[in-house]
Structure 1
Amino acid sequence: MLKPTLLKKSFNVIQRVGKTATVAGLTGLKVAKGEKMDAYLLKDTFEQLGTTYIKIGQFIASTPSLFPREYVEVFQACLDQTTPLPYSYIEDILNNELAKKGKTLEDIFISIDKTPLASASIAQVHSAVLKNGDHVVLKVQKPNVDTIIETDLGLLYGATKIMDTLAPSLKFASISPIIDEIRLRMSAETDFLQEAKNIDDFQDFLQKTNNQKVVAPKVYHDLSTQKVLVMERLFGVSMIDDVAMRQYCKSPSEVMVDTLNTWFASLTMCESFHADLHAGNLMLLTDGRIGFIDFGIVGKLEPKAWQACVMMMDSFSREDYDSMAHYMIEMGMTDKQNLVNKAVLSADLQRVMKKILAKDSLFIGKTIDKLDTTKLKDHSDEINQMMLEIFEVGKRHGIHFPRDFTLLTKQVLYFDRFMKVLAPELNMFQDKQITIV
């Protein structure tokens, strides 16, 4: 006889398969009746399918080098926050998870704000106040997310075949690496106990290095589970707004130096490094400290990958494409170093990156006083484009990039954006104030 939890999971899997078949069937019926299988219909289908497919939609929106422009533009909507779930769903998860620890909401909280601070495809975040007066944030996994992801990834191979049939213009996109990246990211993002461990590791590093300038939120381990993460709430301002920052610091440039030195040191002194410090996950607190938040996406450093990243990004910052090509080859990212034509690789890199930089009108040719910081936001789409263009050039020359190298390079590009706002006079790789090794 099946155990209740296994029976429930089996039911959820069947229910998910049924929903997927229904949504796909309805889309197929629309096409059969003459409706064009365009970007809008595909986006609507993905949104109906939910979590996993929204992640794919986000990938499409962030990779203009791989997908047709119309798909990239339409799927931009997937980059926004998802529609919040009613608080009743979140309350059910909280009750179920806390019951495992023998606790109730009434035992622990004075209040929980029913309006979420944020809502993404996997989790929803609410502010709350504990009985002892502590202000906290609750990161709550949405209902049945783990089953949905597991089932979706199992069905995804078949779904890509359907996509090839219904949307032949997407055939040139390599689907399997997308699925693999989504699998890795989602596995990390759905284990909140692992995220709690990542935070603990970073805090141990701060303590060992006597770093009092940077902080990560305290985790309430006695209240946290794999599906609920209870953390200290940090109050501050975004580090893309230098005007707001000056309320709490003398120099945004010094704050940026402290941020970089802390992160670079963590690469070799932590078990993992924070790999997603974009504008939403880095803040200057009202007490002047720097807050690192959301440790759901981390990487594990290979010294070879880090050295390659440093050399490559230094070359990129100087627009020295010969050196960039040299380090891509010499750092062992290809098994056929002697067969790679460095001059051709350099020319390819220069052509692609010049094109990207020419489009980067928000920053190129503008100084800090001319920047409208109110228009700045998370530029993950542009950064993804840079990364994918580099990778595509590399692949054409037989060069392959490990996942952690991708995370390292992408984070350095995030920091490059911060520096253009906060410390345009500094060079990340050459300034003596910044220690990168």
Structure 2
Amino acid sequence: MKIHRPHLLKHTLNVMNRIRQTASVAGLSAFRVATGEKPDAQLLKETFEQLGTTYIKIGQFIASTPSLFPREYVEAFQSCLDQTTPLSYAYIEQVLTAELAVYGQTLADQFAYIDKEPLASASIAQVHAARLHNGDEVVLKVQKPNVETIMQTDLGVLHAVTKLLEIMMPSMKFASIAPIIDEIRLRMLAETDFIAEAQNIRDFQQFLAVSGNTRVIAPKVYDEFTTKRVLTMSRLRGISMVDETAMRQYCSDPAQVMADTLNTWFASLMLCNSFHADLHAGNLMLLTDGRIGFLDFGIVGKLKAESWRACMGMMQALQTNDYQAMAQHMIDMEMTHKNKQVDASALAEDLQRMMKTIMAEDISFTNGVPINVKEQADELNKMMLEIVDVGKRHGIHFPRDFALLTKQLLYFDRFMRTLAPDMDMFSDNRVAMLGQNDSIATTSKFIAS
């Protein structure tokens, strides 16, 4: 295959420039350590945020993967932000022209209007509102410059700096770094392929159609204006589901909206090719027509139906303090290849001791003192970290996508504390976690046939 030399030269310069930027930021952090600053999780988080795209994503991966990383790092990276400084419209226009203006067409031929001010700007892409000539309002998700090159370069460099990190921060040592880097590479590079994201949206829409779900919607994908670096979708209008008062403009019962959201997501775990693994406040919207909008399908997970049932069984056992059942569900979740060698009774005893300690700490801490929202939101995360720690001692390791599922449950926990504080997702009769309602049962039969 003939290599285009100017392109190769540009790629090489981009790689060298990225290595130079990385070395500069890493050097400043090393200087901070040399001058007496503690090389802890907080310093690493600040360094990652300065390094940008790849490292912000790695920070988010650390925050959502307690089964792989030490507790202090999981907790520190919970606040790792993904909002970045917007790029100029000149660059956005350049990408749109390169990707979409083909066969002699210009952007003006394809779009009646493109807003030069972005709706949002994250580490991988920037989003702009636009309008087609037929009047359709759309949003353009445009990939930022050299994202793939930056990620590939950064992930390659990580192999080289791992040994240095292990010397500076002994608690960051892993049994094997290569599988972790490979896992991060797979997840992050998947986010740079907007054609794959478009397929995730279509899969979800098919699930909605088959299940007869009209309460939830995902944006329509415009295939003719979608490439690996540009994703064009219909624009959904509404409000983020974090303000109960504002939501009442478009619905009479925010708690029921929350139940509909949960039912849809729980059903998708078993009936869709993948589940949405990033439904935070920015990606979940109550539309002006009362429907619920699921946005941004860049991060999805896959979980076997039997693993999901075991997971829910574990959560329900946790609610009823049935530690023997909880231990058995953890083993049944295929979190270990040696499930017959795990002592379920000993695991149950450890889980019971763990929960008694947590509850005693909560009672001691909150006795006579109001609990603030952040403390309530962190409660489930703390519990999951403890469960992971106990599991590790018994040779249990969570499935690859269990961390994504757990992170999403944390997001839902935060939504519910705001919109439906009296609702319990594990016991409320409005929530069908395991697909007990008629529509899901019908869908199961349809898919089986």
Give the TM-score of the pair, scaled to structure 1.
Answer: 0.83
Which residue number corresponds to residue 315 of structure 1? 317
* Contact 1:139 1:230 (C-alpha < 8 Å) held by counterparts: yes
User: What whole-Å deviation, never above 9, does each CA across 1:263-303 have from its counterpart, x for those lacking one?
Assistant: 23223332222122222211111100111111111122312
Alpha-carbon distance change, 102 to 210 in structure 1, aligned in 2, over 3 angstroms:
farther
Which residue number corresponds to residue 418 of structure 1? 415
Cα drift, residue 100 of structure 1: 4.9
* Contact 2:269 2:305 (C-alpha < 8 Å) held by counterparts: no
Further displaced range: 52-61 or 294-303: 52-61
Which residue number corresponds to residue 115 of structure 1? 117
Of 255, 258, 265, which residue of structure 2 is paired with 1:253?
255
* Contact 1:387 1:406 (C-alpha < 8 Å) held by counterparts: no
Alpha-carbon distance change, 76 to 212 in structure 1, aligned in 2, over 3 angstroms:
closer
Which residue number corresponds to residue 3 of structure 2? 2
- Matched residues in 1 for 2:362 and 2:196: separation? 36
- Matched residues in 2 for 1:258 and 1:77: separation? 28
- Matched residues in 2 for 1:76 and 1:414: separation? 12
Of 272, 283, 286, which residue of structure 2 is paired with 1:284?
286
Further displaced range: 397-406 or 411-420: 411-420
SS state of the match for residue 401, structure 2? helix
* Contact 1:51 1:121 (C-alpha < 8 Å) held by counterparts: yes
Alpha-carbon distance change, 433 to 54 in structure 1, aligned in 2, over 3 angstroms:
closer
For residues 266-277 of structure 1, what are the structure 2 equivalents within 5 Å?
266-277=268-279
Further displaced range: 322-331 or 243-252: 322-331
For residues 386-397 of structure 1, what are the structure 2 equivalents within 5 Å?
386-397=383-394
Of 120, 130, 133, which residue of structure 2 is paired with 1:131?
133
* Contact 1:37 1:167 (C-alpha < 8 Å) held by counterparts: no
Unaligned residue ranges in structure 1 (runs of 5+): none
1:51 partnered with 2:63 = no
Which residue number corresponds to residue 210 of structure 2? 208
Cα drift, residue 177 of structure 1: 6.1
- Matched residues in 2 for 1:207 and 1:308: separation? 27
- Matched residues in 1 for 2:278 and 2:350: separation? 28
Unaligned residue ranges in structure 2 (runs of 5+): 436-449
Cα drift, residue 193 of structure 1: 0.6
Give the counterpart letter for 2:21 in structure 1.
K
Which residue number corresponds to residue 228 of structure 1? 230
Alpha-carbon distance change, 230 to 358 in structure 1, aligned in 2, over 3 angstroms:
farther
- Matched residues in 2 for 1:106 and 1:355: separation? 64
Cα drift, residue 414 of structure 1: 3.0
* Contact 2:273 2:302 (C-alpha < 8 Å) held by counterparts: yes
Which residue number corresponds to residue 150 of structure 1? 152
Cα drift, residue 371 of structure 1: 9.8
Corresponding pairs, count: 427
- Matched residues in 2 for 1:421 and 1:32: separation? 41
Identity %: 61
* Contact 2:142 2:230 (C-alpha < 8 Å) held by counterparts: yes
Which residue number corresponds to residue 439 of structure 2? none
SS state of the match for residue 281, structure 2? coil
Cα drift, residue 207 of structure 1: 2.0
Cα drift, residue 246 of structure 1: 1.5
* Contact 2:336 2:397 (C-alpha < 8 Å) held by counterparts: yes
Give the counterpart letter for 1:112 in structure 2.
I
Give the counterpart letter for 1:394 in structure 2.
G
Cα drift, residue 419 of structure 1: 3.3
Cα drift, residue 33 of structure 1: 6.7
- Matched residues in 1 for 2:367 and 2:200: separation? 39
- Matched residues in 1 for 2:360 and 2:149: separation? 44
Give the counterpart letter for 2:290 in structure 1.
G
Further displaced range: 331-340 or 199-208: 331-340
- Matched residues in 2 for 1:134 and 1:395: separation? 52
Alpha-carbon distance change, 120 to 326 in structure 1, aligned in 2, over 3 angstroms:
same
Which residue number corresponds to residue 99 of structure 1? 101
Give the TM-score of the pair, scaled to structure 2.
Answer: 0.81
SS state of the match for residue 79, structure 1? coil
